[in-house]
Structure 1
Amino acid sequence: MKLSNRVAVITGAGSGIGRATALAMARRGCHLALADINEAGAQATAQTAQALGVRATAHRLDVADRAAVAAFPQEVRQAHERVDILMNNAGVAVGGTFEQVGADDFDWLMEINFHGVVRMTRAFLPLLHGSDDARIVNVSSIFGIITPPGQAAYSASKFAVRGFSNALRLELEGSTVGVSVVHPGGVATSIATNARVPTGAHGDEIARGRKAMQKMLRMPPEQAGEIIVRGIEKRQARILVGSDAKAAALLERLAPVGYWNLLKKAMKR
């Protein structure tokens, strides 16, 4: 897929993987509509992209807001006339086990991580059908492949993104719209430090959990962005980002029920 002079919509574009992927696309001449609930972050990414010679607009968008998402395609069309790529990247995290995470926090996470992907796809699919070569890129996670304890809510949302993407790909066969699902491993973003903390969780427990998660987040976002964009260019259905994601995918295939016991033994070593 040639990205030069294409138009990409990216959510969660103000930082992390969204920002890195946007700039990797900009370096290839792709124009950008950059959305984030943090408008200042989206604006900063847009300014950097503009310096690379592409047209980039910044938009404040909460993907959990149904009305805002429904109105967003018209806003993008006015700025860019068309859309060729939709990257659903916006995501949040909640720390804690299922019994620790309350219903409101669980629902909040699902509204952003899963329902946000669905409603953005529904809103932009008519525009994507108007492109001669279009792609939907949905960001899942390594935790959309394996399910560690303490990540019931997050894993549920990322498995849902994976299942939705795989079914949608089959449904769109024969059209000009392809679908990629992205499984990043440990990318050094702020998702762990920004994760919601369940009510009643102890401070030392929170600190341990964040420290353990932070240790996993090693790959620079810029490297992850390049891997994702290369996957888009190759029209890959599944984009595994990092050796940890590749290892997790292989281990889950070999031991779909017992992989966690194997991982625990490896971590002790």
Structure 2
Amino acid sequence: MKSFNGKVAAITGAASGMGRTLALQLAKEGCHVSISDVDTKGLAETVKLVKATAPNVKVTSQQLDVSNREAMYAWADQTTKDHGKVNLIFNNAGVAYATPVEHIDYDKFEWIMGINFWGVVYGTKAFLPHLKASGEGHIINTSSLFGLCAQPTQSTYNATKFAVRGFTESLRQELDMMNCGVSATSVHPGGIKTAIARKSVASPEIEEFTGADSEQGKEFFEKFFITSAEKAADIILKAVKGNKRRVLVGPDAVAMDAMVRTLPETYQAIIVGQMKKMRDKQIARKKRKAAEKQTQSA
């Protein structure tokens, strides 16, 4: 797919972040868009921005929980009805949940798996027949840097993103064998400047491993969000045009991927060492603040 002009793209998680930016950049290239999200307010804003950016492009929207299989299939059918065809599905919606394995809440594990993994599966299967019917289609599934390497307190997130990677790589091989005009790409973003950290869920026990409470942890992670959503969308769309099997988004993703492939076992020890240093700094900082507060009160 060398051009998006005249094509139709469906995008989940389009109320903000990469999903919104993908919609805007596709619209600029003449691609009609069908967007969805659970956030109706953000979704309406994206529709407004798309219309302002590309008045001649058709945009439709749908409030959607991607973990709802029936709703995903209904949206795929409705998108085809509204636009006449579908060429691309960006399974982009995602959430984060941080906790040590010992303290995993099963309900929250099922919640994150439902969105991050099953949402991708449902989106792929619901749209695949429509993509094949279009004669020229592409499935873009968002994994993560954490679909390439593991991180303490991120076991549930890692599980979903490693699963997306495996699912998509197998899918791509099957599509290659079928030669049906449809392809697939696994996307691995590093730290992208979106609201995912702010919207993430963390257990109280997270402080035991990081030395910081959940809010401090979110602020810490955001420091590593170095790639803009616009840059990320540009990289992803170029990868689709180049029919790449996978795409690393951001210098951090490129660097970590290289380290994991070069040091498949040692990288874990390196991460643990860094995490321990950061935890010790947090604990020392808290002790200093407590001592200063005690001195002032005295």
Cα separation, partners in 2 of 1:104 and 1:264, compared to 1, 3 Å = closer
Q: Which of 217, 228, 233 is 2:236 aligned to? A: 228
Structure 1 match to 2:282: none
Structure 1 match to 2:65: 62
Cα separation, partners in 2 of 1:168 and 1:195, compared to 1, 3 Å = same
Cα separation, partners in 2 of 1:19 and 1:204, compared to 1, 3 Å = same
The aligned runs of 1:1-269 (5 Å cut-off) are 1=1, 2-51=3-52, 52-53=54-55, 54-173=57-176, 174-198=179-203, 204-263=212-271
Distance 1:48 1:201 in 2: 38
Structure 1 runs not aligned, ≥5 long? none
Distance 2:215 2:76 in 1: 40
Distance 2:264 2:212 in 1: 32
Structure 2 runs not aligned, ≥5 long? 279-298
Q: With the length of structure 2 as denominator, give the TM-score of the two structures.
A: 0.86
Deviates more, 1:179-188 or 1:60-69: 60-69
Which amino acid is 1:195 matched to? S
Q: With the length of structure 1 as denominator, give the TM-score of the two structures.
A: 0.95
Q: Contact (CA 8 Å) 1:8, 1:85: kept in 2 or not?
A: yes
Runs of 4+, deviation exceeding 3 Å:
199-204, 262-269
Q: Contact (CA 8 Å) 1:100, 1:201: kept in 2 or not?
A: no
How far 1:167 sits from its partner (Å)? 0.2
Which amino acid is 2:39 matched to? N
How far 1:125 sits from its partner (Å)? 0.8
Q: Contact (CA 8 Å) 1:14, 1:45: kept in 2 or not?
A: yes
How far 1:78 sits from its partner (Å)? 1.9
Distance 2:194 2:102 in 1: 26
Identity among equivalent positions (%) equals: 39
Structure 1 match to 2:293: none
**Larger helix proportion of the pair:** 2
Which amino acid is 1:246 matched to? V
Q: Contact (CA 8 Å) 1:101, 1:199: kept in 2 or not?
A: no
Distance 2:50 2:264 in 1: 42
Residue-pair matches, total: 269
Q: Which structure would you say has the larger Rg? A: 2
Deviates more, 1:66-75 or 1:174-183: 66-75
Q: Deviations over 1:116-175 (max 9, x none)?
A: 110111111110111222100000000000111110000100000000000000111112
SS of residue paired to 2:223: helix
Which amino acid is 2:244 matched to? Q
SS of residue paired to 2:139: strand
Which amino acid is 1:210 matched to? K
Which amino acid is 1:216 matched to? F
Distance 1:80 1:96 in 2: 42
SS of residue paired to 2:9: strand
**Bigger relative CO (Cα 8 Å, ≥ 6 apart):** 1
Q: Contact (CA 8 Å) 1:94, 1:101: kept in 2 or not?
A: no
How far 1:266 sits from its partner (Å)? 7.2
